[in-house]
Chain A
Amino acid sequence: MCGHGELGDRQHGCCGDGGNEPPLVFDDNGELVTGSDTLGQLPTPLLTGPCSLATVNGSWLVTLTPLRGITAFGSEIRGPMRIQVTGSALRVSGDIYVRRTGLIAPLAPVQSNDLPPDPPNDAGAEGADGQLATLPVNGAPGTPTYPQFPKNQYSWYFRSAGVTYGNGALTFQLIRHLWDRTSQEFISQDTGQMQLNCRRSLLTPFGIASMTGTATIGGTKYSVAATKTSNLYRGCQVEVDVMTGRVFPASATIGSGAVTSFRQIYASGGWDVTVRLDEVNVPEDASLTNAELQTLLAGHRGPAPAGDPWRLWLLVGSSQGTLFGVMFDEDSVPREGAVGFADGTLGNGSTIDPSARNRPLDEVPSAFLRTLVHEAGHALNLFHPKHDVHAPPIGTEIMNQTGDVIGFATVANPYPRNASFAFAQHDLDSLVHSPDPQVRPGWKPFGWGHGSLSSGLPVPVDANGLVNADDDEMLRLELSLPAQVFVGEYVVAETVLTNTGDIPRQVSTRLNLAEGDLRLLHVLPGGAVEQTRDVVVACGPRAMTTLAPGEQLRGRMQVLFTSEGVTFSEPGMHIVRAEFDVDGFTSVRSDRVTVTVRSAASSTERDIALATLDPGVGLAIALGDFGANEDARQRITTVAEDHPDADTGAACALVLANSFARGHVDFRTADIRLASTDDAQRYLALAAKGRSAEQLLTLAATVASPVERDAPVVADALAQVKRSRRGKADVALAEVIAEDFVESSAR
């Protein structure tokens, strides 16, 4: 008999698709609330019936389309949505990736990375539990897929905060966490609601399930479409390489007598993991350091498949001390590799199974399999329970260390028979519902989510909201900054916009920090994020130019003193990224550039820093003119005259040259500063001494404010180098810089 309101029956399809029942209500935690009837019965189309909960359960590809404010330049807003139905709970989470297409609707079909069906040599793809069947089941395609998109399109994560499901209507409140692509952190959150209707044809009930509906998120209304992709929630490819003479445990008999595998254990955690046994003759090395493991990862892992799917490299290695395994990959693209040490031996304690005592780990398949699954779990950012900031209980499940599991063993129930070959609930929740950046190998570092790295969020990038428009794939923006500077040093940034496509592009020429199209996103050593612009922001029509395929547009700017004040005032590692609004519709971002900032060390550097850290001096350098600030003039003069060999000294000399080349009126005080051609020439000569024409013009064109196209120092510097005996090529480069200052041209 089919019990109304009993999820277990619904989940197992007792009532089948097509039943009309009162809605089930789930609270913030996804737990079933009994006796609720918050939604009335919705009208039901003819010849269709509501989806069963088993159909709703699984991985979906969700696509959102804004209902208002659609521009001619469409965006693809899509990503994975995971709906998890358990015995008494229903939870929803999802990750949204946004890609601006630049196309007028209709949008291109959404692509997702497929996990291939089990390869012939799949090491443990028996699918005995039926989770991995190839026939269509519960609305999922016979070949499951898992929506996986490029990291640089990641925009937000959402999870349900109260769900109802009844008569095919799935309704949930949600909390959205907005992602900042520069700091690679979630920086703010808002709320929303999504309503989806899941109905299936009564005539062809075995097709792929889909849902449609609406959402209101952060004040924006969307139409929503979702297509089921799998009965599991996430997928990952695992490549296994084995050192000569060691064995990967394709399957193992566990304490219950059942046979399990790497793939099955992950399937029980909601993950579809395809295991591919690749090399079985990785050269012998009796003891492996972490450095050697990194080298093996780099040298033996296969090339990335098309579409950049989630993947993990697992080594069956020899040994490292007496360890059983380690997730060793903590480089700049972390959590992509882990190792199990086949030569590690179990002890001879009474709580070790007699057949396993003093045996190498790879001769005890269940113990070794446990360790390998455990290490792979670290690569998915799972923690040992005893180290997890959420303090889940220590037990015998997968993510407990072998030592802790042995602590629960007895003579009658020894290790590894006492081990549970399943993930604890806390880890299951994380595997299924944590945001993609947390779990995807190669993204956030280990410790983000369950360790110390997950605490706290950096300040928002921009009070006006995030710029999550997608990078234009046909344009490339490059940012150059010195690798190391001292606090107070004059710093020049260069940006180059290149048309990498095969058609001409109309692009803004405002490749500077003063006119609003370009900004720097600056992550300080402490993790705070700043948006960097010029101290002056000019408004006006956007000047456009045509950038032919292969052509470049170049901009140069000083970043000693910006809207942040002294940009690099804090010693440590700074990360900077440039973002350019190409045409009002499309943005493009540079790679991240690291600048190491150190304290002023030598007496020259300390003298310079003493002057340039003064806000008045900084402002004068940013404006290219000391105006009426006599104190700033004196400090700049000291630096210029005492340290002309340093670029900061030369930049100060050029500020003086620019200032003295023209008069200045302080309208508040009616003070007038008269031009002094002699002084201007003297300081220009001071800056020019020992510098190439290109170097001098680079400094002159960056000292001058970009909004003052007629700043005399640029023209004067160019005239100076033309008068002097310099090489033609050098002068030609200087001319280009001067021309770019007046108006950026495609070259």
Chain B
Amino acid sequence: MLTIDNLHARVEGKDILKGLSLSVGAGEVHAIMGPNGSGKSTLGHILAGRPGYEVTAGSVAYAGEDLLAMDTEERARAGVFLAFQYPVEIPGVSNMEFLKASVDAVREHRGEEPLDAVTFMKKAREACKVASLDQAFLKRGVNEGFSGGEKKRNELLQMLLLEPRLGILDETDSGLDIDALQVVAEGVNSLRGAERSFILVTHYQRLLNYIQPDKVHVLAGGRIVRSGDASLALHLEDKGYAWLEDEVA
């Protein structure tokens, strides 16, 4: 599904990723953990094609294609979805208009007809239930005045409607109370399937109590320094990240 090879990336003149390699198979859930500043969020932004994030070396293959050669919207249409750590507010454009534009764009790419308004509304309402987001949020401006938790649930809502092949959750768990965390986890679990993969970028092990990862990686100093199964996350929870400093050095 996704093969990252020796990825180097720079942000504002500063090298952040320094040789990151990672392979995620179809249907797998990978957790990427690591201390602040290790490059976790940068990885998500690079995969989504955010401006200002410059790849200086390495490659990313997604479903056999060169992901880095694709425009941001092409990646999204091909099934890559990044749940933002800090979702953007777009006042004046309703959530509904935004969601319909997104879903239509992705469906069109797949050669599917756009959904009629009634069918779409029905799907959106169902997704609202799963995301535990009141339907009133569909009429409000995109993320406008949403609380931190509501923004995260709105990201989940989008993911539920777009049904990506690769979902990347960038610290979606941070700032969530336990109820909201469970909502997000249930949403992700409901989407899990043989053809759909996830990368969970997180600082804490907590999320992994609810979403069982196939693999856990530790990112430090811009590289993956340790990989293992779910027990690695528990180890990190127990020992913290301090022990990594020796490994990076």
Partners in one complex: no
